[in-house]
């Protein structure tokens, strides 16, 4: 593509995000505002919309959401279960897990979905879960969440289960200097995401795709 084509792609990305943002439910918009007022910036609206659709396409009923303050993504996953199944939310931030519980409590009289919300490091909690019991794992937030969750993914996922890594371009980290798009960005998350891409895409147990949704999603389906 030439330079003008790349500029058009950037404009298209912005249009898609604005469009998804305008389609948020009132509840999602309220949760996003509340989280951001608590100094927990939330991810892309298009990303949250995509995750909900992916869950429905997979027919998933058992989901793990690993994130540091990823309230909007967790809400989207709960909504997409349409009153069925279970979400296990793992958040190393006590403030984040408190907001997830509060959000779910506001829904609890309208859904039969169950929530297991755990304030813990992913690397500490995930090894305690039963094997081959989960259809979908979504990973957000701090760099430490990614490698420790991927380590457990082959054991936790059902056959053909999927793990999704958000912000794989490392553009949303507080200390980001352009993320992995900038070779000079040596921030913790940028370096972690470079390593993650190599590790996941070379793992023969998974089929993978890197897609330009939000600040980059890496999807890996268990074979």
- Whether the pLDDT of residue 214 is over 70: the answer is yes
- Give the domain ranges of the chain: 3-222
pLDDT at 133 (0 to 100): 97
Cβ-count burial 75-88 (b if 16+ within 10 Å, e if not):
bbbbbbbeeebbbb
pLDDT at 68 (0 to 100): 83
- Per-residue pLDDT tens for 40-55? 889 899 999 999 999 9
pLDDT at 144 (0 to 100): 93
pLDDT at 10 (0 to 100): 81
- Give the CATH class of 3-222: alpha beta
DSSP 221: E
- Whether the pLDDT of residue 78 is over 60: the answer is yes
pLDDT band at 111 (very low <50, low <70, confident <90, very high): confident
- Whether the pLDDT of residue 4 is over 60: the answer is yes
- Whether the pLDDT of residue 7 is over 80: the answer is no
Q: Averaged over 143-149, what is the pLDDT?
A: 96
Structure tokens at 14: 């912005």
What pTM, to 2 d.p., does this model score?
0.93
- Whether the pLDDT of residue 89 is over 70: the answer is yes
- Whether the pLDDT of residue 210 is over 80: the answer is yes
CA-to-CA distance for 75 and 49, rounded, in angstroms? 11
Contact call for residues 206 and 200 (beta carbons, < 8 A): yes
Residues in the chain, total: 223
* Percent of the chain residues past pLDDT 90, beyond the cut: 76
pLDDT at 195 (0 to 100): 97
Least confident range from 26-30, 131-135, 184-188: namely: 26-30
161 three-class SS? strand
CA-to-CA distance for 47 and 9, rounded, in angstroms? 17
* Residue 115: alpha-carbon gap to chain centroid: 17
pLDDT at 8 (0 to 100): 79
- Whether the pLDDT of residue 132 is over 70: the answer is yes
pLDDT at 174 (0 to 100): 83
């Amino acid at each position: 593509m030439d330079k003008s084509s790349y500029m058009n792609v950037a404009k298209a990305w912005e249009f898609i995000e604005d469009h998804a943002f305008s389609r948020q439910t009132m509840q999602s918009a309220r949760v996003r505002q509340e989280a951001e007022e608590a100094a927990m910036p939330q991810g892309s609206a298009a990303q949250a919309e995509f995750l909900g659709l992916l869950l429905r396409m997979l027919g998933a009923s058992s989901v793990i959401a690993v994130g540091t303050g990823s309230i909007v993504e967790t809400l989207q996953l709960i909504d997409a279960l349409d009153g069925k199944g279970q979400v296990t939310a793992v958040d190393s931030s006590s403030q984040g897990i408190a907001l997830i519980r509060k959000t779910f409590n506001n829904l609890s009289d309208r859904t039969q979905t169950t929530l297991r919300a755990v304030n813990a490091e992913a690397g500490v909690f995930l090894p305690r879960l039963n094997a081959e019991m989960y259809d979908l794992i979504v990973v957000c937030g701090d760099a430490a969440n990614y490698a420790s969750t991927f380590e457990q993914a082959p054991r936790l996922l059902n056959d053909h289960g999927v793990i999704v890594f958000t912000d794989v371009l490392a553009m949303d980290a507080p200390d980001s200097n352009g993320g992995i798009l900038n070779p000079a960005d040596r921030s913790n998350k940028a370096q972690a995401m470079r390593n993650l891409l190599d590790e996941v895409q070379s793992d023969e147990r998974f089929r993978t795709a890197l897609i330009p949704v939000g600040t980059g999603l890496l999807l890996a389906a268990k074979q």
